[in-house]
Chain A
């Protein structure tokens, strides 16, 4: 599978109160064509900042991509001018957010908002854009799309708004869809509807999806590969089967064990002690060592590298370091 997106050594830093916060601290991963990848982690781990970096939407002033490459189909997005990025955003890469109400304009109809995107990117006439918009709304499951075109966002429920957002995101046939917590604000029955829809659309248009979420259940519904982040770094990359059947990194194991299951009985949840390190704190050695039950001397001094286990597997932990095994 050829890669659609390659992220190489990306670092996005913030300056706050004269302190540098390393929100994204050197991450590398690839997304294949048509592949769905999930970026998992708890709040503050840098997963949303990664997606904003890809979109070129890092909040400024304050935030800055200080190093790295983001290569989409052979083009480094970081070399593009702001004007050129306009052509990429919405066309090549589209994004849907957690709270669809804040990303829809409350004073414009759904139709106006959809057609303006289509006219801008696909250079269609108003009439053609209208037809395309209606087609998209039908695709995301509205039974009366013509009527929906004249509606305002406040008249729709959360699930309907998210479907409008998906219609808008998919309307220009993006190569990559970034979905940042797309179902977190939705109820479970509505979440199920939206997940089914995303699955269907990605298959139909072979769009790659970068799914950002903290919900491991959603991950296992949608993704093929998973990237686990902790404190701005990748701690594990694995296929979905490997991740849930045989997690390697102590953080991943802790994360999976702390989720109560809908299916089975667990007597007691295994929580991860302590808290996520505060943003901007300087930690020597492994960033997870303070919460890790396997931490040994080396973890406190040296920082582990992301070790490649095989083609689809990588983990940042000394437990899997051959050097350790030989000692």
Chain B
């Protein structure tokens, strides 16, 4: 039996019969606010608006890249999609089911199996006292898949081959692996339950470039092999350009632009996206034309005291008077190209 057969979904999900254009994930007006407490009474004095009114959807089989600088809320957004951070408001619809208000028991067969996460530091997400085999066995047991231990072992071995590890590594412990190998384990752990959607949060950021390329290639191969949908969260714009189909740009909890990769990188509309792209240092070679650099002044404002109006107006090189007051909404200015900026009103 080859690995592809073994990893076929064990049962057909109901969504498989639906029309393929139906997005796998729909996010509407998602907000995740964390209270800020102060004083001896620990009264709530304000909110960190980590994710503030974000709407988008993810098409089946695509890779949606989410980029932004530290503190823009991209990780919180990713975590809230599987309810690791509870959404304050809004709705998340996965495969036609609204998961926003589900109990943990209801979530289990739907979300815990069908959406998986790959984290930046795989070592931190692996139990140092469990062998690789045990780590991968646990989700299978918890979800009552693959009846007996022999079948489960068989599947784990297949899976290890799929991610490029030797099947004998089952008996090894996390500390025995290098960073790149650990990330392969992290990916194997995410794949073990046959998910539909994988949220990769800075999955390649901690790796050296030569290893990073191996993991990116692996992720691309797996997507083709198992029809996976990815949400790829990263601060590295070059990596996202390489791997994603569509890209969303976040700034201070807001989605400021969302478009096809070809559009976004060639013709960015939002002033922040323009500055962000121009700031990426690129390898200089004779063929490449020199790009004009927009250097933004100042730092990202704190997300506790968000600026009024457009959150970007404090650093925006082309701000207008009413940007300080009116909050721009995400609008479709070209087919498939969304931007939240008053310039395009």
Chain A residues within 8 Å of B, Cβ to Cβ: 42-43, 157, 159-160, 187-193, 195-196, 214-218, 220-221, 240-241, 244-245, 254-263, 266, 268-273, 275-276
Query: Given A262-B237, A262-B238, A268-B220, does the pair A193, B295 have CB atoms closer than 8 Å?
Result: yes
User: Given A245-B285, A258-B213, A268-B217, A188 and B208 touching (CB < 8 A)?
Assistant: no
Contacts of B216 in A (CB 8 A): 260, 269, 271
Can you list 25 A-B pairs with a CB-CB distance of less than 8 A?
A42-B208, A42-B211, A43-B208, A157-B300, A160-B299, A188-B69, A215-B281, A217-B283, A220-B282, A220-B284, A244-B284, A245-B285, A255-B210, A256-B283, A259-B209, A260-B242, A261-B241, A261-B283, A262-B282, A263-B282, A263-B288, A263-B291, A266-B242, A269-B216, A271-B216
A215 CA to B202 CA in the complex, in Å? 17
Distance in Å from the Cβ of B208 to the closest Cβ of chain A? 4
In the complex, the answer to whether A192 meets B286 with C-beta atoms within 8 Å is: no
Chain B residues within 8 Å of A269, by CB: 213, 216-217, 242
> In the complex, how many angstroms separate the beta carbon of B317 from the nearest chain A beta carbon?
12
The answer to the question of B161 belonging to the interface, with a C-beta cut-off of 8 Å to chain A, is no
* B178: Cβ under 8 A from any A Cβ: yes
CA distance A43 to B209 in the complex (A): 10
Q: Judging by beta carbons under 8 Å apart, are A217 and B213 in contact?
A: no
* Given contact pairs A215-B281, A216-B283, A188 touches B237 in the complex (Cβ within 8 A): yes
Taking the nearest CB of chain B, how far is it from the CB of A272, in angstroms? 4
Which chain B positions have C-beta within 8 A of A240?
284
Given pairs A42-B210, A193-B296, A257-B213, 10 additional interface contacts (CB within 8 A): A157-B300, A187-B69, A189-B296, A190-B69, A191-B281, A192-B281, A220-B282, A254-B210, A271-B211, A271-B217
Give Cα A217 to B285, complex, Å: 11
Most-contacted residue by chain B among A192, A218, A254, A268 (CB, 10 A): A192
Could you tell me if B241 and A196 are in contact, using CB atoms closer than 8 angstroms?
A: no
B side interface size, CB within 8 A: 42
CB-CB under 8 A from A160, the residues of chain B are: 299
Does chain A have a CB within 8 A of B15? Answer: no
A215: shortest Cβ distance to chain B, in Å?
7
B134 within 8 A of A: no
Known A-B contacts A189-B276, A192-B295, A260-B242; A42 and B283 likewise in contact (beta carbons under 8 Å): no
> Is the pair A271, B214 in contact by a Cβ cutoff of 8 Å?
yes
Contact of B213 among A189, A216, A272 (CB under 8 A): A272
Residue of A at shortest CB range from B71? A187
Contact of A275 with B283 in the complex, beta carbons under 8 Å: no
**Contact of A275 with B239 in the complex, beta carbons under 8 Å:** no
B235 proximal to A (CB < 8 A): yes
* Nearest CB in chain B to that of A241: its residue: B286
Contacts of B210 in A (CB 8 A): 42, 254-255, 258, 271-272
Docked Cα-Cα span, A189 to B212, in Å, equals 23
Q: A42-B208, A244-B285, A259-B238 are in contact. Are A189 and B69 (CB under 8 A)?
A: yes
Q: Give me the 4 closest cross-chain CB pairs, A-B, nearest first.
A: A217-B281, A258-B213, A271-B213, A260-B242
- A220 x B279 contact (CB < 8 A): no
* Complex Cα gap A221–B216 (Å): 25
Interface residues of B in 234-253 (CB under 8 A from A): 235, 237-239, 241-243
Instruction: Give the residue of A214, A244, A254 whose beta carbon is less than 8 angstroms from that of B283.
Output: A244
Chain B residue with Cβ nearest A45: B208
Q: How far is the CB of B59 from chain A (nearest CB, A)?
A: 20
Shortest distance in angstroms between A254's beta carbon and chain B's nearest beta carbon?
6
B265 at interface by CB-CB < 8 Å: yes
Check: B70 CB closer than 8 A to any chain A CB.
yes
**A191 neighbours in B (Cβ, 8 Å):** 279, 281
Q: Report the minimal beta-carbon distance from B120 to chain A, rounded to whole angstroms.
A: 14
In the assembled complex, the Cα of A270 lies from the Cα of B283 at a distance in Å of 16
A245 to B288, CA, bound (A): 11
Question: Are B265's CB and A276's CB within 8 A?
Answer: no
Residue B316 lies at the interface, judged by CB distance under 8 Å to chain A:
no
Is there contact, CB below 8 Å, between A276 and B208? yes
**Interface positions of B from 258 to 297, Cβ below 8 Å from A:** 265, 275-286, 288, 291, 293, 295-296
